[in-house]
Structures are given as C-alpha cells and as structure tokens.
Amino acid sequence: MAKAVSVASCLTLILGVWCAQSGAAAVAVRSAVGFYALVRLDDCGLTVTEDTDVESQGAALAPLAVSVSANQACGDNWSTSSGHVEASWADVSSGAVHVEASLDHHDDYPWQGYYMRYAGAAEPTYPGSDLPCWVYTFVPDTDGSFRLSYSSSHVGFDADSWVIYGISFNGQGASIAARDNGSVCFSFSRGETCTVRLFTGTSWGGGSPSFYTWQTLSCSWEFDTAAVPVLGTTWGSVKALYSE
C-alpha cells in the first residue's frame, strides 16, 4: 500500500533518505479532467441550474481541459458558479495541472436565499461525495515515488474555511490549504497499478449580501526513483466535499 508524507521540499533529508530527482518510467493507462457547477436562487422558484464537462483518454497523453459555468438571474439578484481545469504531460512521468474556480453573487436587500456549489467531476460515479477534478492511472516499471508540488491562492471573499483541495494516491492522501505552497510524495512499487486523484470543491448558501471569490490551484508533478521514507500513516482518505 502506498504511504504518503507531506514535505516542504522533496530535497529535504528525512531519516537519511533523499526523495531524489532521477526520473522513473511507466505505462499510462487512463487520465481524465472534469468540473461541475450548480446555482439555485430562491427568487427563481428554487430551480437548479447545473453545468458539467468531462474529458478523458486512455493511454494517450494529449492535453485535457474543461470549463463550466452555471448562472441564474432574477430581478436584481444573480449568481454564477464557474470552474476550469487543464492537465498536460511532458511525458508519462511528469506534467502539470491547473485549476480555477469562482463564485459570484449579487443580492440587493432584502437578501434572498441561494445555494452555490462547484466540484470536480472527472469521475462522476466515484463512490461517496469525493469528486476529483483530475485523475491519472499508470503502472510504473520500477520502484519509486510520485511527487506533486502545489501553489494555491484566492482573491475576494475570505474562503479559507470552506474551499477544499486534496490529493489521493491509491487510497492514501493529504489535504491542501486554500492559501498554501508545498509538496507531497507517495511511494510506489514496480508493476503496481497507481491512481492519483486531485480534488477541489466548495459550497456556499443561505441569505447574505453580495460577494465574489476566485480560487486557483497550480500543480507540477514528476516521478522519482527513490522511494519516500515511511514516517507513519498520514491522513487516510481525502475529505468529502461539503454538501447542502
């Protein structure tokens, strides 16, 4: 089973073992990106507007990208939920993922009820409410590790407490703060089928004045031939997305 350790830098010496930077090879199996957006304004009769887009491929390593936007407007009140994710591969063992998402709500007094949500949708049938925006499955031909470096940020309404980012690797995972920089490593074994999933999502609702928030998450990843030292079990599953 893969083990994960969050580290400030994979070039930090931990228990005498380096997370080296020599590349490992693999066979790509499948990859996908997807995003989902939802808006519901009470002024619009409690109807729901949704938008979903998914792109997937098998062993090919072509760039993938999707964009979604859900909007409702009734009188002077309107809400928009939108998202975008794109993934690219330099080769089978390295690449990048970029995610952008926003919630935009305008409400004149007296405030009306509303509900807004965005989430990943690369695997719409993934069990539970965890919804990845990027999925990559591969089989390595040597022992090593998967290293992902990330940078997350947002502008507008202070959404640190309800924006969710996370990554899972064969059932092990780690959370990513809404405003953070860092990296995480997961070990793998030769011939093991490995699936990495990147998660994002949030929901916001009630009755409140106008607000706007825009979040971004940029990631680069690569394989290393040196396994990551095991320092104990970390957070074992990616946090479920908020639901209404």
Domain boundaries, the chain: 24-224
Predicted TM-score (pTM) of the model is 0.80
What was the pLDDT predicted at 196? 95
> pLDDT averaged over consecutive 10-residue blocks of the chain (244 residues)?
40 30 72 93 84 94 96 85 95 95 77 79 70 93 92 71 76 80 91 93 71 86 66 34 34
DSSP conformational letter for 62 = -
Is the distance from CB of 133 to CB of 205 less than 8 angstroms? no
| Cα of 23 vs its chain's centroid, Å | 24
What was the pLDDT predicted at 7? 37
Is the distance from CB of 107 to CB of 96 less than 8 angstroms? no
Write out the DSSP string of 6-60: EES-TTS-BTTB--------EEEEEEEEEEEEEEEEGGGTT--EEEEEEEEESS-
Q: How far is CA 113 from CA 42, 208, 214, 244, in A?
A: 5, 8, 21, 13
How far apart CA 131 and CA 166 sit, in angstroms, is 10
How far apart CA 62 and CA 64 sit, in angstroms, is 6
Is the distance from CB of 112 to CB of 210 less than 8 angstroms? no
How far apart CA 1 and CA 148 sit, in angstroms, is 18
